[in-house]
Amino acid sequence: MAERRSAAGEGLARLSEWADGHLGLLRNLSAGLAAAGLLVLARSVRMTTKFTNALDIPTEFIEKNVKLRGKIHHVTEKGLQVEHIPISIPIITSIQRKWQSKGLLLVRLAGVELAPSGTVWLQKEVKPSQMVWFQLLGREDLALECRVLVNKGRFLSVCLNEEILRQGLGRTARIEGLHHHSRLYWKLHKRLLQAELKALKKHKGIWQEESFSERVRDRVSNNKCVRTLKQFVNWLRSYI
């Protein structure tokens, strides 16, 4: 028993000597752990911050194309008015709620030139307070250019940007905010073009209207009376 106590005392003594000899190392290690803790805390605060203004979103979030969660409140001609729903961490979130302001983010469907019928379709299809994920692609003044995903069941989500084009309710446009030569730009742009092509082949939406007008124009130009009238006008011009 006495030998065990002696061995334990000797071990503590050696540990104490080692700590005294490496005091600087221990201080640096403690400082490093504290800095790492503060960094994690700062990151947590940023991820749990509720953004109510597009200008409040860190540039880093947009450059890294971060996905944010939100709730749609209104669909307007300018875009979707979305309430940002940040990640919830019990202690941090409860503190932040005391000073967070209220407001909605203006989210536009990136890469889509929305037709008036597209706005009407969104107002009918998108339910009030529907949860969405919006991927940050760019920012222009107070508007966010985003890829918007809507949950359709537990394992299925629909990209509104692509669905609008698939229904023939808009045209593809340049994706503002992304570099024109980036891999992500062409990946998303390709998917938008494929969605638009499906509507074009099926003559849906605006493509149905254009194909109908083209058919009317062809029928008028091929009408016998119209052709006879054109011939008479040409003959008359030759004698004037």
* Domain-located, residue 237: no
Nearest CA to 113 out of 169, 31, 51 is that of: 169
Evaluate whether 144 touches 138 at the Cβ level (below 8 Å): yes
Co-location of 35 and 53 in the same domain: no
Q: How do the pLDDT tens digits run along the chain, 240 residues long?
A: 555 555 555 655 665 665 566 555 545 555 444 434 433 333 444 567 889 999 999 999 999 999 999 999 999 999 999 999 987 665 554 555 555 677 899 999 999 999 999 999 999 998 888 899 999 999 998 999 999 999 877 678 899 999 999 999 999 999 998 988 899 999 999 999 999 999 999 999 999 865 555 555 655 565 566 566 666 567 666 666
Q: How is residue 55 written in tokens?
A: 């200008």
Co-location of 72 and 183 in the same domain: yes
Q: Tell me, what's the pLDDT at 41?
A: 36
Co-location of 32 and 59 in the same domain: no
Co-location of 123 and 177 in the same domain: yes
In total, how many domains does the chain have?
2
Co-location of 155 and 93 in the same domain: yes
**Cα 79 to Cα 107: distance, rounded to the nearest angstrom:** 6
* Domain-located, residue 218: no
* Domain-located, residue 230: no
Evaluate whether 67 touches 135 at the Cβ level (below 8 Å): yes
* Domain-located, residue 99: yes
Q: What is the CATH number of the domain that holds 67?
A: 2.40.50.90
SS3 203: coil
Q: Tell me, what's the pLDDT at 74?
A: 93
Co-location of 6 and 72 in the same domain: no
* Domain-located, residue 172: yes
* Domain-located, residue 214: no
Range of the domain at 128: 49-209
Co-location of 182 and 76 in the same domain: yes
